Amino acid sequence: MAMKDKITQQSILLFQEKGFNQTSIQDIVRAIEVTKGTFYYYFSSKEQLLMDIHDDYITHLLSRQERIISKTNMTQKEKLTEIIRLLIMDIADKGPSARVFFREVRHLTDENIETISQKREKFRLHIEKIVQEGINQGELRKELRADMISFGILGVTNWSYNWYKPDGEVSAEELIKIYSDMILTGIAT
Amino acid sequence: MAMKDKITQQSILLFQEKGFNQTSIQDIVRAIEVTKGTFYYYFSSKEQLLMDIHDDYITHLLSRQERIISKTNMTQKEKLTEIIRLLIMDIADKGPSARVFFREVRHLTDENIETISQKREKFRLHIEKIVQEGINQGELRKELRADMISFGILGVTNWSYNWYKPDGEVSAEELIKIYSDMILTGIAT
Amino acid sequence: MAMKDKITQQSILLFQEKGFNQTSIQDIVRAIEVTKGTFYYYFSSKEQLLMDIHDDYITHLLSRQERIISKTNMTQKEKLTEIIRLLIMDIADKGPSARVFFREVRHLTDENIETISQKREKFRLHIEKIVQEGINQGELRKELRADMISFGILGVTNWSYNWYKPDGEVSAEELIKIYSDMILTGIAT
Amino acid sequence: MAMKDKITQQSILLFQEKGFNQTSIQDIVRAIEVTKGTFYYYFSSKEQLLMDIHDDYITHLLSRQERIISKTNMTQKEKLTEIIRLLIMDIADKGPSARVFFREVRHLTDENIETISQKREKFRLHIEKIVQEGINQGELRKELRADMISFGILGVTNWSYNWYKPDGEVSAEELIKIYSDMILTGIAT
DNA sequence: AATGAATGAGTCTTCATTCAT
DNA sequence: GATGAATGAAGACTCATTCAT
């Protein structure tokens, strides 16, 4: 297990730095000082490794999202804030994984792309549902299209993997506040 | 020019479909029925072609942005709406170019990445400036951080290259309205 | 080792026959019936292989020259004869290597050319030193320029890679005698 | 004529600097600011150009050698000195041509290699004949092998294209003196 | 005399993957 | 569990040459 994890962690670092294609198996195993044989003992292919990384990321995200959704004592606006926190925090804390997740989907097999896409779509639909619920309950403006708003929210948050630097002058907590404020003001009644 | 253009257009289509790395020169020239030599007659390298595409895209975007900025009879809010329109329209009309532009920067040489990044940053700074101006003139809320808001706006709009389909049920014009409404409501006084 | 050696030996034969540039990796691996991958498993580049050949040749030459130099019971004239023997024998016995060594230096990288040049210059300087010693000790004529004479000696011997055929009517041993006789008579007191 | 000459001269410079193979037609025409078409208007192929250079060089050398040979008032030793002068002077004055001549023969077609080789062999045989004549007339030692001595003389002189720098501390005239002295002392009675 | 667009064969090199040990 | 030798398919790029104008 230790070795499999070591390979995965090193791969994430290299993938985010140089890209999936530009990183060779050789690069990965050299970095942790084992040989190619070892890699293939743990992973059936390079794509398999990438799939593992993707599935871990989205699965973890989804499970935490579901925990938020099931909180019955939260308003929809609070839930949206929590989801924004979830996404920003991941980008801040697990930047490399996030970047690999957002950038390298294309290198999965068609079948695996499908699997990951479905989970990502599920994540988005959860947001859409919360927005719709918010509309229904009068927390959010009636005329909104819940689907488009969900895309908008994901845009604001996810885009930050492109530029956000955790050690910059804005802390993750501040960014969460800025974005949830902007978004909620933008859609609240 | 005809041939060089043909190569560029075909490349954009293939790059957005399969990715820069997954598209071979062979793929490109096969599609337009010329030979590899022809490609290298017009481009010094595959990367050079990618740079051309990037530079054309951002240059065109910047020039139109500057035209908007120089309109003295527009409020800052109107200017922001126009910039949102600019971005969404490009994604809607020139989807393939947009996708290549947003996805494949990494395959440029370090030097070229720098050039493109500077132009992209310039584009963002223009937005930041408009937001700041809006704040100063009382159109937008005083407590906003203009820089973070500019990233947020770009997130909402640019992210749509990931999902927006011009022939879907939402027209570009509607999307522009939805997003500018959400954003402006979110930040206006 | 076996395979690496096999590649090297075959390469020497092909390089001397067709020249470094005219010999493709394909040619080499085809001749020993392995695949291109195998070549690159053992050598990082074609140039690397050429460097290996060069370095082996000059290193071997230098080490034998140093053994001659250190013989304290030899006159300088005897030492010169031994060095002429060394050079002619190598050309006679290891003709292909010799020809590659003398002809293909230019295809090394600048850095490697420098390394090899220094070793070749060291070899020549050793000759120059022997000549100078011979002058000092009265074995050779006082008015000689040791540097030019060393170039002359190398010219006579090295040039033979251009024409000498070991299976011709003159044996290596005879040639050594002819040349050392001509040279030593030409410079002795 | 002017253009053909310009191409030839530029080629010689580039060939000696980078080698025949490493110099592309593109390189040549770019240097004199014409286009590839122009090259092919004057030369039927790259090899043809190389052949022209070779043939000019050896033809010129041979004609001057023949003039020396026909001088009836010269001793054989004087003739040898004159031939040594011929060779060294060419290397000193026309270094680039000389280097191309000695290094790039291999890139000629088999047929052209044959032609050039014959002329070079003719040049060598002329020397052999002079040496033999010198032996017969008692100017040179009886026991010499005229053929091997001719190779030795060519070695001493030709080798200098490898190292001789006309602007170094030894003038061409001095080098000629040093070498003819060494050689003639080495073989004279 | 000279141009410039186009060709196509060939080159070095990379790399994911396999497999016997 | 892990190694290292070997594969082979594919990729970017070069270049002498042709030819219509």
D36 C-beta less than 7 Å away from strand F? yes
Write down the pTM of the prediction. 0.89
For nucleotide F11, the protein residue with its alpha carbon nearest to C1' is B24
Q: Chains contacting C with at least 3 CB pairs below 8 Å?
A: D
**Average pLDDT value over all residues in chain B:** 94
CA-nearest of D117, D108, D116 to D46 is D108
Give D60-92 pLDDT, tens digit per residue: 999 999 999 999 999 999 999 999 999 999 999
Look at residue C155 in the predicted model and tell me its pLDDT: 97
| Distance in angstroms (rounded) separating the CA atoms of residues A154 and A85 | 12
Architecture of the C45-187 domain: Orthogonal Bundle (1.10)
- The predicted model gives A53-67 an average pLDDT of 96
Q: Is C26 helix (H, G, I), strand (E, B) or coil?
A: helix
How near does any CA of chain D get to the CA of C38, in Å?
27
C45 C-beta less than 7 Å away from strand F? no
Look at residue C1 in the predicted model and tell me its pLDDT: 60
Q: Which residues of D touch C19 (CB under 8 A)?
A: 106-107
Look at residue A186 in the predicted model and tell me its pLDDT: 83
According to DSSP, residue B144 is labeled -
Angle between helices B95-103 and B46-69 (to 10 degrees): 110
Encode chain C (189 residues) as per-residue pLDDT tens digits. 689 999 999 999 999 999 999 999 999 999 999 999 999 999 999 999 999 999 999 999 999 999 999 999 999 999 999 999 999 999 999 989 999 999 999 999 999 999 999 999 999 999 999 999 999 999 999 999 999 999 999 999 999 999 999 999 999 999 999 999 999 988 877
Q: How many CB atoms lie within 10 A of CB A178?
A: 21
B46 C-beta less than 7 Å away from strand F? yes
Instruction: Please give the span between the terminal C-alpha atoms of chain B, in angstroms, as a whole number.
Output: 51
Alpha helices (H) in C70-109, listed in sequence order: 76-93, 95-103
Look at residue A187 in the predicted model and tell me its pLDDT: 80
Instruction: Please give the span between the terminal C-alpha atoms of chain C, in angstroms, as a whole number.
Output: 51
pLDDT band for position D13 (50/70/90)?
Answer: very high
A40 C-beta less than 7 Å away from strand F? yes
- Cβ distance D185 to C185 less than 8 Å, yes or no, reads yes
Cα-Cα-Cα-Cα torsion D35, D36, D37, D41, nearest 10 degrees, comes to 110
**How far in angstroms lies nucleotide F7's C1' from the CA of residue C35?**
7
Query: H or E stretch including D3?
Result: helix D2-18
pLDDT band for position A1 (50/70/90)?
Answer: low
Give D136-168 pLDDT, tens digit per residue: 999 999 999 999 999 999 999 999 999 999 898
How near does any CA of chain B get to the CA of A4, in Å?
28
Look at residue A79 in the predicted model and tell me its pLDDT: 97
Q: Is the pLDDT of residue B186 over 90?
A: no
Nearest beta carbon to residue D156 from set C156, C163, C184: C156
- Distance from chain centroid for Cα B123: 10
- The predicted model gives A110-133 an average pLDDT of 96
Pick the range with the lowest mean pLDDT from A78-87, B138-147, C124-133, C180-189. C180-189
Which letter, b or e, does each residue of C75-100 get, where b requires 16 or more Cβ atoms within 10 Å of its Cβ? ebbbbbbbbbbbbbbbbbeebbbbbb
Alpha helices (H) in chain B, listed in sequence order: 2-18, 25-31, 36-42, 46-69, 76-93, 95-103, 110-136, 146-158, 172-187
- Cβ distance D151 to C159 less than 8 Å, yes or no, reads yes
| Residue D35 dihedral angles phi and psi, to the nearest 5° | -115, 170
CA-nearest of B141, D153, B128 to C182 is D153
Instruction: Please give the span between the terminal C-alpha atoms of chain A, in angstroms, as a whole number.
Output: 51
According to DSSP, residue B140 is labeled B
Look at residue D1 in the predicted model and tell me its pLDDT: 60
Residue ranges, comma separated, of all CATH 1.10.10.60 domains in chain A are 1-43
pLDDT band for position D189 (50/70/90)?
Answer: confident
How near does any CA of chain C get to the CA of D98, in Å?
15
Angle at A84 between CA A188 and CA A164, to 5 degrees: 125
For nucleotide F15, the protein residue with its alpha carbon nearest to C1' is D24
Give B81-118 pLDDT, tens digit per residue: 999 999 999 999 998 999 999 999 999 999 999 999 99
Residue ranges, comma separated, of all CATH 1.10.357.10 domains in chain B are 46-187
- Cβ distance D159 to C154 less than 8 Å, yes or no, reads yes
| Distance in angstroms (rounded) separating the CA atoms of residues C187 and A79 | 100
CA-nearest of A73, A68, A75 to A139 is A75
- Cβ distance A163 to B185 less than 8 Å, yes or no, reads no
Strand partners, A140: A188
Look at residue D186 in the predicted model and tell me its pLDDT: 86
| Distance in angstroms (rounded) separating the CA atoms of residues B108 and C53 | 37
Give B44-67 pLDDT, tens digit per residue: 999 999 999 999 999 999 999 999
Angle between helices D95-103 and D2-18 (to 10 degrees): 70
| Distance in angstroms (rounded) separating the CA atoms of residues C105 and C107 | 5
Q: Are A127 and A174 in contact (CB under 8 A)?
A: no
| Residue C188 dihedral angles phi and psi, to the nearest 5° | -75, 160
Residue ranges, comma separated, of all CATH 1.10.357.10 domains in chain D are 45-187
Q: Are C83 and C134 in contact (CB under 8 A)?
A: no
- Cβ distance C148 to D187 less than 8 Å, yes or no, reads no
> Which CATH fold would you assign to the domain A1-43?
Arc Repressor Mutant, subunit A (1.10.10)
- B46-187: which CATH number, 1.10.3720.10, 3.30.930.10, 1.10.357.10, 1.10.10.10? 1.10.357.10
Q: Is the pLDDT of residue B120 over 80?
A: yes
- Distance from chain centroid for Cα D65: 11
B42 C-beta less than 7 Å away from strand F? no
